[in-house]
């Protein structure tokens, strides 16, 4: 094994952002490889700036490197200019620490966070001189793994992956290391015996041991090719986040990346129960980190990194028990001298949350973001995002009255049961928010950011159709026209075409592997970057494979139809998901089970887990999931005092 | 308690892998190191307070340097809870402690090589520097061609180059900015030719890549190292801070050290 850096370096003068390729982050390790050591290459299939901050990858990086018998390095997708230069010079995909060739590692493990990065996985394998198809790999080729949220339906990538990990990696990463280490020491080893052994690890899915059968557009069967492999692969979940205070040494990159700040995960899981949200379904139950551990991780992290911003991360950080106390401790810590700001990604929509935001953004009040997701209360009951109009107006009122002048609202369109009035409701809400703002400021901006809904596996909407790009475009135009009349209201939207490709990959079956390969061979990398995205590549590839985009996107699935991911489990009972689906269509909301009785979704009971929540009662001040009779749609009274009155 | 002066100038190098970061990245690395060192840095007023530090002429991404400078302002009203105090009675020892501490906290490749308190009369680093000395290594020509092309450039009345300014393509005359240029024979990198140059910074700085455009656009840049930033004053050359710690110390550009 030798460093490729001398070959790489002459290219660096001539590519964009060369710091992407040199490593050298604070916290990075340059581990020693050798006999008896299992080596992991943790790969993120997007650029360095996007991939570096990924917390999951950093957690595994530390856990693996803490072992005496294992090492981990990292790699990211080289940008197109670097890729061209590398191919031209015959330089394979390399790690950023020791600049070792990817194919020299025992395991190459991809983090799958977004479907449109899939073609980058293929490209990185190819650039790494690793046989693209799992069945073409020999005993000396790396084992190609994947983990991350997208693995709840990994079928589109099944041809290219040796094994897939479902759920959280903290524990399973060591079990896999043990299996691979033992296999490497076996002189008579072959690939098949390793795959069999991996299939025996809980949470590990080996696609080649399962063969789907298709009839027409549907999957009609799944043959288990190895009697030892589990019929259902269950996800892994860490019972107590307090046992895993990682990352301990968050990487501080030499060059600017997204989320370039200290990130401390305050809890995992979310039981708000938004029906469109895959993350909220697959990461249950809620497990809070002990507040004292959060405080310690923040204090040590600030001291160690020199960052002046810390994000308290989770799926809805304002729901953390005693969040005000945690925020106050950071903001008021005399060691921080008022110089450390706190950010709470994904604010809950209520006035109370705004008060917390006001506390943490005492200086820089640039903009606040809320995600009502649906334009009408009816729509929000369908998706179970139980925010009343009054909640939103109270939050917006609080924001404008406390000095903010810009409010950003996130919405989805193309949701199940959506009518034009729901879409127009977005403009109406936006208009009301502008009016509220005008009471406090002469000029305010309310921007409504609109994304097209893509149904995801393991959610209540997994059976439902999604809107075709044309229909999404029609709705965007409708909304834009309606919003034109309101000065100060901006409508922003995502490219509707990309939702079609994302839909094919989200709910695709194993036949989509060949489609992905065609898209990639036709130059379709970095498809999550709008300047590179090309729907025609997907349309052409589907046609060449005799498949129809509509079958994967706009087709309603039957509830008794076999879904390509039915053998993979996030713990959720199918009847729970179906019940939620029916409730959605009937516009019935459900409350958050962390503070109310259990609905037996399966996430706790199946794995003998429970919520780890410090406060037994819901946060005050808002109505979301707090047991205030929202399923009936009654408005919740919120009293606000205006400063100066 | 150690005392630091209100204004401090530091000289540092940028070598190794960190040279692939941008000037902005380096500024951010300094900000993080200063916070970690708990130095009583002064902050700007306003909505978005920034630490008050200023840098010399931006070093293009990928270039290394033996002579980078930053001026840092300290204040007793700094929001930072600091073990240092600020005042007139600063000592040389505290400057050395700061330099050593910052050197350890900065990423590898950014090394503090000299420090000096500023009295107040010194101008801004950006405005005072009049030229930079560069060592540039290129591939794509022989030593003989190197000598020939250098002579051709020096003999030309004007050397038009294309460059981008505020998003527009403009044609500039490179010739007046090339104060000296020599071909030094084979460079460190195999097959490369080493050039040394003094390039003016006014009216606007010339990047090594732009120099190559003027010599021969087919040349490939393999290494560029800034050796010195110079202030020409009544026929003598001064450095913002010499390696041996003299503020605005006189230097002889022809003997500037050739980089590692």
| Rg, chain B, Cα only | 20
CB-based contact, B196 to chain A, within 8 Å: no
- Is residue B47 predicted with pLDDT exceeding 80? no
Q: Which of B18, B20, B25, B31 to mutate to test the interface with A (most CBs of A within 10 A)?
A: B20
Tell me what the mean pLDDT of segment B204-231 comes to: 94
Residues A177 and A283 in one domain: no
φ, ψ for residue A305, nearest 5 deg? -95, -30
CA of A314 vs chain B CAs: smallest distance (Å):
25
Closest CA to A335 of A362, A306, A360: A306
- Write the DSSP assignment of A97-133 as a string of letters: SS--BGGGSSEEEEE---GGGHHHHHHHHHHTT--SS
Closest Cβ–Cβ partner in A24, A306, A339 for B18:
A24
pLDDT(A636) > 70: no
- Give the confidence band of A58 by pLDDT, cuts at 50, 70, 90: very high
B236 and B121 housed in the same domain: no
CA separation for the pair A85, A76 (Å, rounded) = 16
A339 to B35: CB separation less than 8 angstroms, yes or no = yes
On whether any CB of chain B is under 8 Å from the CB of A3, the answer is no
Give me the domain span that covers residue A424.
Answer: 261-494+571-630
What confidence tier does A626 reach under pLDDT thresholds 50, 70, 90?
A: very low
Q: Is the pLDDT of residue A635 over 50?
A: no
Contact A339 B79 (CB under 8 A): yes
Q: Does B222 touch chain A (CB under 8 A)?
A: yes
Q: Is there a domain that residue B147 lies in?
A: yes
A134, A272: one domain: no
Chain A contact for B88, CB < 8 A? Answer: no
pTM of the model: 0.94
Same domain, A205 and A290: no
pLDDT the model gives residue A362: 59
Instruction: State the average pLDDT for chain A.
Output: 92
Q: For residue B94, what is the domain's CATH number? A: 3.30.70.580
Q: Are residues A42 and A154 in the same domain?
A: yes
CATH number at residue A150: 3.40.50.280
Q: State which of B87, B110, B125 marks the end of a domain.
A: B125
Mean pLDDT of A148-167: 98
Confidence of residue B221 (pLDDT cuts 50, 70, 90): very high
Q: What's the average model confidence in pLDDT over A473-491?
A: 96
Nearest to A22 among B17, B29, B48 (CB): B17
Q: Does A335 touch chain B (CB under 8 A)?
A: yes
Q: What is the pLDDT of residues A280-327, one digit of tens each?
A: 999 999 999 999 999 999 999 999 999 999 999 999 888 898 888 888
Q: Are residues B10 and B53 in the same domain?
A: yes
Q: Lowest mean pLDDT: which of A132-136, A606-610, A624-628, B218-222?
A: A624-628
**Considering its fold, how many domains does chain A have in total?**
2
Residue ranges of E strands in A464-551: 489-493
Q: Which of A575, A607, A603, A567 is nearest to A232 (CA)?
A: A567
Q: Is residue B260 part of a domain?
A: no
Please name which of A27, A33, A122 lies closest in space to residue A515, comparing C-alpha atoms.
Answer: A122
Note the ipTM here.
Answer: 0.92
| Beta-carbon contacts of residue A140 (< 8 Å; ≥ 6 apart) | none
Query: In B, which residues are within 8 Å of A338 by CB distance?
Result: 79
Per-residue pLDDT reduced to its tens digit, A74-92: 999 999 999 999 999 999 9
Among the candidates B125, B158, B178, a domain finishes at: B125
- Helix (H) / strand (E) containing A469: helix A469-483
Kind and range of the H or E run holding A204: strand A204-205
Of A303, A308, A387, which is closest to residue A350 (Cα–Cα)? A387
Q: Is B67 in the same domain as B185?
A: no
pLDDT digits 0-9 by tens, A356-392: 777 776 555 667 889 999 999 999 999 999 999 999 9
On whether both A307 and A174 belong to a single domain, the answer is no
Same domain, B17 and B119: yes
β-pairing, B220-233 with B131-139? antiparallel
Q: For residue B204, what pLDDT is reported?
A: 83
CB B241 within 8 A of CB B114: yes
Task: Find the distance separating the first CA and the last CA of chain A, reported in whole Å.
Answer: 72
In tens, the pLDDT along B10-42 reads 999 999 999 999 999 999 999 999 999 999 999
Contact B32 A305 (CB under 8 A): yes
Three-state DSSP at B183 gives strand
Tell me which chain A residues have a C-beta less than 8 angstroms from the C-beta of B20.
12, 18-19, 21-22, 254
Task: State whether A291 and A203 are in the same domain.
Answer: no
Side-chain half-sphere of A332: how many Cα atoms within 13 Å? 7
Judgement on whether residues B154 and B251 belong to the same structural domain of the protein: yes
What residues of B are in contact with residue A334 (Cβ under 8 Å)? Answer: 81
- Per residue in A489-519, pLDDT tens? 999 999 899 999 999 999 999 999 999 999 9
- Three-class SS state of A24: coil
A10 touches B: beta carbon within 8 Å:
yes
Task: Return d(Cα A261, Cα A343) in angstroms, integer.
Answer: 10
Distance CA A621, CA A356 (A): 11
For residue A247, cis peptide bond before it (omega within 30 degrees of 0): yes
Interface of A with B in 113-142 (CB under 8 A): none
Residue range of the domain that includes B61: 3-125
Is A505 part of any domain? no
Give the per-residue SS3 of A263-310. Answer: EEECEECCCCCCCCCHHHHHCCCCEECCHHHHHHHHHHHHHHHCCCEE
Q: With a cut of 90, say whether residue A535 has pLDDT above it.
A: yes
Name the domain boundary from B75, B101, B125.
B125
The domain boundary residue, chosen from A190, A214, A238: A214
pLDDT in tens, B110-159: 999 999 999 877 788 888 999 999 999 999 999 999 999 999 999 999 99
Residues B111 and B172 in one domain: no
DSSP A202: T
Share of chain A above pLDDT 90, in %: 82
Token couple for B43: 């902050």
- A339/B contact by beta carbon, under 8 A: yes
Evaluate whether residue A368 is within a structural domain: yes
Share of chain B above pLDDT 90, in %: 78
Largest CA distance in chain B: 61
CATH number at residue A452: 3.80.30.20
Query: Could you tell me if B81 and B144 lie in one domain?
Result: no
Q: Chain B contacts of A307, Cβ < 8 Å?
A: 32
User: What sign has the CA pseudo-torsion A174, A175, A176, A177?
Assistant: positive
Q: How far apart are CA A74 and CA A398, in angstroms?
A: 44
What is residue A329's predicted lDDT score, i.e. its pLDDT? 87
Q: Is the pLDDT assigned to residue A629 strictly greater than 70?
A: no
């Amino acid at each position: 094994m030798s460093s490729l850096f001398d070959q790489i370096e002459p290219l660096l003068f001539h590519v964009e952002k060369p710091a992407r390729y040199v490593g050298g982050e604070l916290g990075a390790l340059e581990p020693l490889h050798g006999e008896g050591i299992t080596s992991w290459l943790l790969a993120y299939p997007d650029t360095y700036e996007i991939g570096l901050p990924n917390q999951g990858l950093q957690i595994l990086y530390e856990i693996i490197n803490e072992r005496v018998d294992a090492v981990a390095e990292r790699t990211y997708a080289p940008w197109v200019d670097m890729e061209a230069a590398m191919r031209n010079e015959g330089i394979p995909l390399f790690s950023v620490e020791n600049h070792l060739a990817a194919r020299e590692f025992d395991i190459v493990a991809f983090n799958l966070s977004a479907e449109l990065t899939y073609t980058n996985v293929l490209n990185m394998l190819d650039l790494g001189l690793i046989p693209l198809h799992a069945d073409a790999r020999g005993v000396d080729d790396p084992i190609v793994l994947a983990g991350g949220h997208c693995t709840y339906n990994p079928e589109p990538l099944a041809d290219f992956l040796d094994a897939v990990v479902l759920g959280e990696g903290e524990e399973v990463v060591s079990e896999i290391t043990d299996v691979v280490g033992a296999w490497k020491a076996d002189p008579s080893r072959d690939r098949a015996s390793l795959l069999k052994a991996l299939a025996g690890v809980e949470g590990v899915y080996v696609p080649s041991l399962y063969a789907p059968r298709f009839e027409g557009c549907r999957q009609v069967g799944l043959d288990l090719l190895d009697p030892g492999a589990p019929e259902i692969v269950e996800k892994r979940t860490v019972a107590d986040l307090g046992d895993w205070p990682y990352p301990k040494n968050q990487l501080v990159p030499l060059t600017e990346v997204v989320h370039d700040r200290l990130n401390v995960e305050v809890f995992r899981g979310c039981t708000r129960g938004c029906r469109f949200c895959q993350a909220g379904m697959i990461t249950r139950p809620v497990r809070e980190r002990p507040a004292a551990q959060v405080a310690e991780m923040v204090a040590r992290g600030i001291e160690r990194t020199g960052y002046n911003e810390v994000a308290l991360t989770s799926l809805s950080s304002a729901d953390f028990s005693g969040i005000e106390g945690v925020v106050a401790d950071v903001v008021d810590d005399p060691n921080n001298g008022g110089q450390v700001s706190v950010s709470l990604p994904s604010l809950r929509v209520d006035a109370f949350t705004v008060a917390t935001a006001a506390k943490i953004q005492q200086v820089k009040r640039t903009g606040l973001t809320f995600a009502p997701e649906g334009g009408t209360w009816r729509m929000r009951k369908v998706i179970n995002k139980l925010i009343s109009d009054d909640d939103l107006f109270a939050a917006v009122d609080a924001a404008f009255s406390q000095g903010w002048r810009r409010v950003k609202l996130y919405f989805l369109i193309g949701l199940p049961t959506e009518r034009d009035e729901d879409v127009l409701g977005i403009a109406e809400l936006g208009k009301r928010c502008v009016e509220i703002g005008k009471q406090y400021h002469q000029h305010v901006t309310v921007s409504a950011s609109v994304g097209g809904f893509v149904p995801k596996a393991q959610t209540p909407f997994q059976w439902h159709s999604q809107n075709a790009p044309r229909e999404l475009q029609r709705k965007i135009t409708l909304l834009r026209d309606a919003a034109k009349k309101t000065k100060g209201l901006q409508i922003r939207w995502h490219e509707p075409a990309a939702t079609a490709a994302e839909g094919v990959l989200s709910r695709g079956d194993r036949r989509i592997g060949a489609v992905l390969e065609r898209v990639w061979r036709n130059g379709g990398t970095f498809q999550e970057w709008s300047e590179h995205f090309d729907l025609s590549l997907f349309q052409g590839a589907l046609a060449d494979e005799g498949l129809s985009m509509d079958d994967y996107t706009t087709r309603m699935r039957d509830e008794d139809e076999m879904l390509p991911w039915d053998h993979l489990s996030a713990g959720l009972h199918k009847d729970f998901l179906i019940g939620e689906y029916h409730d959605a269509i009937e516009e019935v909301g459900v409350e958050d089970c962390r503070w109310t009785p259990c609905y037996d979704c399966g996430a706790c009971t199946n794995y003998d887990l429970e919520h780890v929540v410090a406060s037994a009662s819901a946060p005050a001040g808002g109505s979301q999931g707090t047991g205030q009779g929202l399923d009936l749609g009654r408005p919740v009274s919120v009293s606000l005092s205006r400063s100066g009155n | 308690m150690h005392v630091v002066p209100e204004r401090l100038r530091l000289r540092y190098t940028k070598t190794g892998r960190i040279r692939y970061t941008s000037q902005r990245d380096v500024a951010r690395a300094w900000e993080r190191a200063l916070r970690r060192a708990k130095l009583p840095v002064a902050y700007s007023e306003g909505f978005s307070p920034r630490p008050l530090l200023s840098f010399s002429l931006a070093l293009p991404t990928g270039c290394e340097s033996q002579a980078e400078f930053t001026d840092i302002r300290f204040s007793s009203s700094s929001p930072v809870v600091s073990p240092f105090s600020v005042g007139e009675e600063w000592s040389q020892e505290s400057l050395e402690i700061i330099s050593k501490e910052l050197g350890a906290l900065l990423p590898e490749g950014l090394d503090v090589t000299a420090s000096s308190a500023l009295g107040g009369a010194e101008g801004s680093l950006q405005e005072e520097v009049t030229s930079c000395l560069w060592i540039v290594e290129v591939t794509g020509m022989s030593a003989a061609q190197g000598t020939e092309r250098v002579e051709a450039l020096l003999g030309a009345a004007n050397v038009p180059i294309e460059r981008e300014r505020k998003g527009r393509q403009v044609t500039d005359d490179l010739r007046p900015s090339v104060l000296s240029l020599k071909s030094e024979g084979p460079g460190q990198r195999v097959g490369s030719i080493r050039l040394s140059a003094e390039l003016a910074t006014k009216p606007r700085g010339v990047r090594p890549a732009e120099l190559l455009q003027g010599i021969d656009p087919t040349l490939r840049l393999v290494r560029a190292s800034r050796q010195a930033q110079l202030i020409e004053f009544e026929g003598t050359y001064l450095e913002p801070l010499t390696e041996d710690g003299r503020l605005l110390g006189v230097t002889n550009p022809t003997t500037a050290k050739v980089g590692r």
